[in-house]
Structure 1
Amino acid sequence: MAGSDVKLVGIRPCPYVNRAQIALNLKSVEHEFIELNPYTDRDMLVKLNPVHKKIPVLIHEEKPVCESLIVVQYIDEVWTNGTAILPYDPYDRAIALFWASYIEEKWSPLLGELRKAEGEEEKAALMEKIWQGMALLEEAFLKCSKGKAFFGGDSIGYVDIALGGFLGWIKATEILAGRKILDGEKTAGLVGWSERFLLDKAVKDVIMEPEKLAEIYQRYQASKAN
């Protein structure tokens, strides 16, 4: 792995990898992107992340940093140029960490469950949970943003990255499940936020088109069935 002092290991469709890409872009960190498929390049991944065996892995000065939200925090603390990703204020920082944890542990897994759901009853039950979560996130956005463009205020912050990394897959899940998740009536604040987030120069070349993601998912599911 000679070359760049900073390397990011992962695959482009992965929302967790996208988080790290966005953070690196926000800090204008030049880096080498190393394609690694966690399903086929298992041996290399085990060497880089022997505990979780997951992507992304950030390699800085030959030292690996694992887990996407930890990677984002590391990037923010090492490259102090530009706007901070995590708030300086201890309370605001705690709130950002809380909502990122909620997205990671409670809300985002529901998207995967919805994509796999069979039958209208199962989909309806999952959508109820997803909408309940979206209502909480809508309220969090209104409070954290304080009337500004992002959870982080005037610029993209930690919660923006935590949730925004999933935007491609949120829209792909809408296609695959035939259900609306980002609803202009129920979550108007988040709809506007998502549009601004995807247009930001740090993001727009990172998140893949939802139609392409849906196609990738269907192809992967078909390969598993064979």
Structure 2
Amino acid sequence: MRPLALLCALLVPGVLGAQSILRVDTLLASNQLAPAVALADQALAATPRDYEVLWRVSRVRLLQGDAQPEKSKAQDRLYREALALAERAIKANSTAPDGYLRRAAANGKVALFAGVLDAADYVIQTKEDTEKVIAMRGVPPLTLASAHYILGRAHLKLSETPRPLRMPLGLGFGNAADALTHLRRATELRAGFVMFQLEYARALVANERVADARAVLQQLPSLADQEPGDEGRKREGAELLRTLR
């Protein structure tokens, strides 16, 4: 930023924060979580009511939570903070998709942390928010892909539990066929994305399409890392591939 522009940013509250938050996307795509966290915190402090800031910081908090030890208090705290930030983003702009998408992602993480059957309300909200995003007009392809991914993953996770046990909780909707449909759509909208490809392979296995799953998993090592955690996902894919017969 040029000196004059920087001075103007400092004189006008929120300008620097709103501009800097856009760099978070680039940092996360290059697996630089720590500097992304620093920028997100700075932007949130400067513009605590800005929609673009709020939903991006919600995303950062989820990634911070993923990096914590599984089922730790720190992980739970970060997931719930991500949820609160997403709620604030929706209040800031209730007509745009990203707030609902981030709330769906955060609710999904909170539900997985607590155990899906013990967090039915969070799962139902995840379904409602992702379906809302999918139904919106003019949603950018990458945002739409994420909505299909989150909804597909919810279906897939629910399908691991017998339906009669889920129905009294309002979770009877989850099934492997819908999981496959949504996860396939996610991979179509965002081709070559490790996270989506791995979950798509799992959905293929759940639908007894082992040969197709094997083909997807064999491609994982050659895909570019685009999200924190992609290296670990490739290892998960390799382990899953070894189990397939």
- Answer 1 or 2: which has greater strand percent: 1
Structure with the larger RCO, 1 or 2 (CA within 8 Å, 6+ apart): 1
If you compute each CA radius of gyration, which structure gives the higher value, 1 or 2? Answer: 2
Q: What is the TM-score with the length of structure 1 in the denominator?
A: 0.35
- Answer 1 or 2: which has greater helix percent: 2
